Amino acid sequence: MNLKADAIAIATAVQQGEITAVDVVNTTLDRIAARDKQLNCFTTVTAETALNDAAQIDREIAQGNNPGLLAGVPFAVKNLYDIAGLTTLAGSKINAENPPATQDATAVTKLKNAGAILVGALNMDEYAYGFVTENSHYGATHNPHDLNRVAGGSSGGSAAAVAAGLVPLTLGSDTNGSIRVPAALCGVFGLKPTYGRLSRAGVVLFSSSFDHIGPFARSVRDIAIAFDLLQGEDAKDSVCTKRPCVNTLQVMTQNIDGLKIAIADDYFTQKAAPEVLITVQKVADALNVTEYVSIPEAHRARAAAYIITASEGANLHLDKLKSRPQDFDFATRDRFIAGALIPSSWYIQAQRFRSWYKQKVREIFQNVDVIIAPTTPISAPEIGQETMFLDGEEILVRPHLGLFTQPLSFIGLPVLSVPIQQANGLPLGVQLIAAPYNEMAILRVAAVLEKAGVISAEVV
């Protein structure tokens, strides 16, 4: 099996009998065994069930049945997704004491129903509170492009597993940038859909009013097909309301004539390394974009996002913070304790500002379809690195990797981080941002950029 093949190519080969699903899974398991000792992407590998599921796919094909659009495609999920028979860790020591999940998360079920084969669960920051995946319980996930550097977080295992060619498709979650940051630092595609568009049922939440789920992949078409398969109302998730499902895989083949695209300036050009801004300009030039747009009060949106997520996250874990603080990852614990001390009046004011900010950004999208912005302020920092210098100022790495992602997830916008490969071997990401429920627009733009060779995900 070609380890650089994307999910659709693998499924096509399986469906046409060029390779069996069992062979695909065996190759995948061999690749994981050979490389994951260095990378530390997986916390659990479900080899036995994966091989059983693969054998069933092969039987279906032999009988002339269609096992699904992702027949035989290996995938893995961040370990905050429920997997029947496994304990859902959510990156924590405390959760390891819980009983096994009795059923799969909705998203896992949907991919399995399409013929995809689950091969394991992936490392993350504890309770999804972080941007680096340096987990004190389960170890750091290493960036495949440079093993001395972080993979980003909190979905670091999900991004690194795709970049390293362990699997072509993974699922993560995004509260303040936890899909987009690791996608950028590992050089893969990462989609944070509109808030409420994909079901979070069976997923451990960090901050319910922010949390999204979404896919990582090495091609735009894989992102599109995963998004299409994951859509749909789910009564198990109160925010996953009924919306018309769209076939983005088909629509994204259209050109981008008629789409109005602009570059985010002001806040999104500050505290960024020079190569980050060069990367954004490279995308803009490829699209012949010369117009700029200012997203007002983005710095306040980021501050308000911190207040809300810290407060909601601390509330979820308050009992354990009181009774067993020593069992938390120290970095997570201290931020949750700080969140528990935030006055309720601050939380209320942050939510009021959120409503105002949402309206202001909605007005921008009356004149613009897609906005381009950097994903992270720097390329992947070294594991253990505490500070970085930007615009002559020394600032902390962990909180500031989400500098450009937080103001967007604050109001649930759909965003795709697309990968740009650099000569120094460390990739960067550019965010393609649209109005709620307009994922089609950003996927169309991404498809054009991919076809032109401007963006690409490389197996390393």
User: 81-137: per-residue pLDDT in tens?
Assistant: 999 999 999 999 999 999 999 999 999 999 999 999 999 999 999 999 999 999 999
Return the closest-CA partner of residue 143 out of 167, 163, 128.
163
pLDDT tens, position by position, 36-47? 999 999 999 999
What's the pLDDT at 455? 97
d(CA 174, CA 211): 6
Given 92, 110, 154, 219, the catalytic residue = 154
Q: Who's near 459: CB < 8 A, 6+ residues apart?
A: 3, 4, 163, 164, 165, 218
**Amino acid identity at 158:** S
Res. 255: pLDDT tops 90: no
On whether the CB atoms of residues 129 and 335 are closer than 8 A, the answer is: yes
CA dist 432 → 21, 175, 192, 211, 371 (Å): 34, 17, 10, 19, 6
Q: 212-215, long-range: CB within 8 Å, 24+ apart, which pairs? A: 212/173, 212/174, 212/175, 212/179, 212/409, 212/412, 213/107, 213/171, 213/172, 213/173, 213/174, 214/171, 214/172, 214/173, 214/174, 214/179, 214/190, 215/169, 215/170, 215/171, 215/172, 215/190, 215/191
What's the pLDDT at 244? 75
Phi-psi region of 115 (alpha: psi -120 to 50; beta: other; left: phi over 0): left
Residue 178: active-site member: yes
Return the closest-CA partner of residue 57 out of 69, 47, 41, 44.
69
CA 74 to chain centre: 17
Mean pLDDT, the chain, whole residue set: 96
Q: Who's near 41: CB < 8 A, 6+ residues apart?
A: 76, 122, 123, 141, 151, 156, 157, 158, 160, 161, 164, 166
What's the pLDDT at 3? 67
The pTM score is: 0.97
Given 155, 158, 173, 178, the catalytic residue = 178
Given 78, 110, 192, 271, the catalytic residue = 78
What's the pLDDT at 65? 96
Q: Which residue in the block uniquely carries the two structure tokens 């190569």?
A: 275
Bridge partners for 44 per DSSP:
121
Residues 41-67: what's their mean pLDDT?
Answer: 98
Residue 209: active-site member: no
Residue 173: active-site member: no
Res. 408: pLDDT tops 90: yes
**Amino acid identity at 197:** R
Report the CATH architecture of 7-451: Alpha-Beta Complex (3.90)
d(CA 458, CA 26): 22
Burial profile 362-398: b = 16 or more Cβ within 10 angstroms, e = fewer = eebbeebbbbbbbbbbbbbbebebeebebeeeeeebb
Beta strand 370-374 with 428-434 is antiparallel
